[in-house]
């Protein structure tokens, strides 16, 4: 069994955001198939350690320093020392901003980058909407960093194709986000629309736009919009009738159990939308935008509906609100689509094969 080390700053056990859900799914999968260690950068509390014990993950979680965030050179030194004492066959670094840690990794260890998104594209989309990007990285610099890795893990097709075309098929690796399949029954009457999100700028823009431009025209006789997640703390708006800010709910099962229809009116941001994958895997009717359909294009119009602009989004939402048969057909198609494309084995099988395949370290910068 291969020894794998994941390096991340994300408290992946604190769910409620797509990037944490992604890392948690990766940890859960690899803990069943490899000898896995997760090395944490940043602060960890005793409550975190106790919570980790309850998750039943077959892996070791190590904090390089639980008390404080360290400067990059100190993380380099500590990770280098840790890997010298705890050898790994493969090291996976979460997010490109931690590429400075490449200097910590011994020769002979296969090193991979889990991108989540192509950050240069994310920055361009944010600028186009007048928003500040999380990381303002040029495409030239990003691909320069990609070349230092043995493999670059991409979460959706268009990102994979772009990196494959630039770096070659031996470096690009497609590993979408898996979902827990949980088929829901479709109720005869649609009474609850659900939206779940973290408080990042694209999500705040999405639900603020929906409430301002779409919600006023939605027939609201007995229909409620439930907004879940840390986004509720980030919203600065007057909540209209029929909208309930539910806050963070730890159980996704409870969230999707309440929803008759799921929306994701996102207009900019990263690639594959994990909240959309979750809705599909629960067999629920989903209405999203063209940007929300990124990475899921094959299912548009059959597994879920797409509305471009406020008027079209309202029309797609009315289509599923008004018809039980339409909701039932969409829910069934959504579940079949997720089952075929987003099981853990379908998403991470190629990653596991790459982990098992020996490869030399990437060239130095």
Average pLDDT, integer, range 269-289 = 90
pLDDT of residue 364: 41
Average pLDDT, integer, range 19-29 = 90
pLDDT of residue 180: 83
pLDDT of residue 76: 96
- Per-residue pLDDT reduced to its tens digit, 157-176: 889 999 999 998 889 999 99
Cα–Cα distance between 179 and 290 in angstroms, integer? 21
Instruction: Among 80-84, 156-160, 213-217, 311-315, name the one with the lowest average pLDDT.
Output: 156-160
What's the whole-number average pLDDT of the chain?
91
> What percentage of the chain carries pLDDT values higher than 90?
68
pTM score over 0.85: no
pLDDT of residue 45: 83
pLDDT of residue 101: 97
Cα–Cα distance between 340 and 176 in angstroms, integer? 12
Confidence of residue 64 (pLDDT cuts 50, 70, 90): very high
pLDDT at 341 over 80: yes
pLDDT of residue 219: 76
Instruction: Among 7-21, 22-36, 121-135, name the one with the lowest average pLDDT.
Output: 121-135
Average pLDDT, integer, range 80-104 = 96
């Amino acid at each position: 069994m291969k020894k794998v080390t994941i390096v991340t700053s994300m408290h992946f056990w604190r769910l409620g955001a797509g990037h944490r859900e992604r890392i948690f799914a990766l940890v859960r999968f690899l803990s069943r198939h490899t000898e896995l260690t997760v090395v944490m950068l940043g602060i960890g509390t005793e409550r975190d350690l106790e919570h980790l014990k309850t998750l039943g993950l077959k892996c070791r979680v190590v904090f390089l320093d639980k008390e404080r965030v360290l400067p990059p050179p100190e993380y380099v030194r500590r990770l280098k020392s840790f890997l010298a004492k705890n050898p790994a066959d493969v090291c996976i670094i979460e997010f490109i901003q931690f590429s400075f840690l490449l200097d910590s990794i011994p020769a002979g260890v296969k090193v991979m980058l889990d991108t989540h998104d192509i950050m240069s594209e994310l920055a361009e989309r944010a600028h186009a909407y007048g928003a500040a990007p999380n990381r303002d990285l040029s495409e030239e610099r990003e691909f320069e960093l990609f070349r230092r890795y043995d493999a670059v893990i991409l979460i959706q097709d268009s990102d994979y194709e772009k990196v494959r075309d630039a770096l070659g098929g031996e470096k690009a690796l497609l590993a979408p986000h898996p979902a827990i399949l949980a088929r829901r029954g479709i109720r005869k009457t649609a009474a609850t629309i659900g939206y779940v999100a973290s408080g990042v700028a694209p999500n705040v823009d999405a639900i603020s736009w929906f409430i301002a431009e779409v919600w006023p025209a939605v027939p609201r006789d007995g229909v409620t919009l439930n907004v879940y997640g840390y986004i509720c703390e980030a919203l600065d708006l007057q909540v209209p009738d029929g909208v309930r800010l539910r806050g963070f709910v730890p159980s996704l099962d409870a969230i999707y159990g309440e929803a008759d229809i799921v929306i994701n009116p996102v207009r900019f941001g990263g690639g594959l939308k994990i909240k959309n994958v979750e809705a599909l895997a629960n067999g629920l009717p989903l209405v999203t935008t063209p940007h929300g359909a990124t990475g899921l294009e094959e299912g548009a119009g059959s597994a879920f509906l797409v509305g471009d602009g406020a008027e079209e989004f309202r029309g797609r939402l009315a289509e599923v609100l008004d018809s039980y048969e339409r909701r039932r057909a969409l829910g069934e198609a959504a579940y079949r689509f997720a089952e075929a494309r987003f099981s853990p084995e379908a998403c991470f099988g190629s990653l596991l094969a790459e982990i098992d395949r020996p490869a030399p370290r990437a060239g130095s910068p």
